[in-house]
Structure 1
């Protein structure tokens, strides 16, 4: 008999409860990853995400091989692949760590039922959130809609568990299991190869993720809360893609931060914001396509002007901080959080482009875009989401640059020509147009 572990967004060996439980059964372990682009409702990965996934799976396969087992890669509908592989390896049990998106939960529920019908044990584990979404409720039993009371309620619960031990070895399966070749999946860009900047900026994989966590705690934690809003300060943790792909768990990050003794209240709150996004998605599975606040369904978006959207995408708006952020994104697959808010506000409220278009662009170009945080944060900026910024709060990119990039180093790095380019819109006039559209929606 064999134990099958099905990995998803948890591409690590350390603090992996499903893998740990499998290793403790004293049976051969088969580790499976399924590239599922066919199940109903599962959102296809963006280009930058595919690039990261390739690297992370490559490193994971090496680490699993060091422990005696093999990473099996299959492509197709998970509802077909997982039971099929379970039958091929004569699995007595199939373990995985939970997912919280609506379509993903539907897939997982169906697979669990099919496995149990085949008389196989099927169990899921808590691994990617500090607090399960159904455990955090208001006094009325409803989901929280505002972050501060949500996070206060989380912190009133039992402290997040500590990381579980990494298995030292994985027993070798008795029979060979066929696997796809990773290169055959075509996750890396070829014609053209636009990932040069990503390769310069990032090294995917669990080993690099754990190194970055240690580096952040040792070098950056002491001044994180003070300097985290300054895009050129180097204070950002750079852990978001590690968490998105599960190369690190939030439990590892939480305990490393708490045990460091550093003043990381703001950093822990950022972990809380991530929790808030995922809890919101759990209760609102169509977060990426539907306004969380229904009144925004009546917002009078003007007809899309593709030239404006493309200028924003390419960092050619003539607004230096916006252009710097969008070029950083295009080059590295990443953007500083403060600049994300500024660029998103500019698109939605100065260009009056629907937040869907920005969310889709970030989904394709960010290495850390996930199903919860990406739409959640776009809806926050647009005013249509949970704990949303009031619509009349329009980030002025010129004032934001003076406050958070006063020496102009960030702009000089990413958009040195920015001060010489004419803006495509007038900030004051476009702000007034956005507020007028908001008032028109309110009057309905």
Structure 2
């Protein structure tokens, strides 16, 4: 039309006001997004679409996906790239801001966006990824994987018609559904007969909570939305995974029964003997087995379900504020459940220096913790230059839009 190509599509992430002028949309550059297409019945498949767009000057900068051939081999497996996706919509309660999904977003769309950013950051050819794990406790389906959709959209593994030569699997262990797979990804890329040179791990959640005033509604003050993706391999590593330790017990501090829409939790029971006991044990045992102490680490990344738990446990373990406060992003984005400790780790990798050692300790209700010791390599500087979207940008996004509580509940439930 008049020398311009027009495509029937949807402009998303717009909360239209009564005095909205459509002329303001004309001539603006857009970026494609992967989103849900529409609401459907409870028994139907959730349709998705790639003909949804956000404005290029109203979200985050466009980044070209440029494939870069790896040049350096490492003895230990580790992180070769990462990406974090957080919606620009937020709700603010006192000093806490929490990310809110737009009406066409869910855990699948956040996983796709985070995975895309991880591929861009790594420069890795998506066809070389042989395994993907997606950890979530807010899958839109009770029976159907998220990982299959994410693998196909991101074109992981070699394409064979409409099939992808990649192993895709969902995992679920509350908030450590993704971090628990770090060790599996490392083991897989290290085994010479696995034929998997790179593995992707994503934690993505539209964190669930009942409305305030309802049973379980206490969680509603902390839940957020977003996803974080990590690529593991043994070439061009930015942070080697040196060692790990896990602990588990049947501690039902948080649960959602089959068929129930919202989770329940055990009140004060969620601190001790749930969160505190497991995080303390995993971190302490990890340091003991590695003959290390808190002062040996540049940073400590704890799971962060609320503003107080991670600070209390970090101090209890002997870490100083400068070691753990940069990792605590919950007050900006809310508790992103499977993405919570992963977002905290991304915040640290954004600022860490070569040879810094990082202790990461996740937590999942039900209950268990994973502790990892990472050592940052020199290649983190080179790859950091490729990042336009980091945690600082997401936290200070100038296009953040705050919503009221009723709008938050509508968006949260996809209504």
Superposition TM-score, scaled by structure 1 size: 0.24
Larger Rg: 1
More strand by share: 2
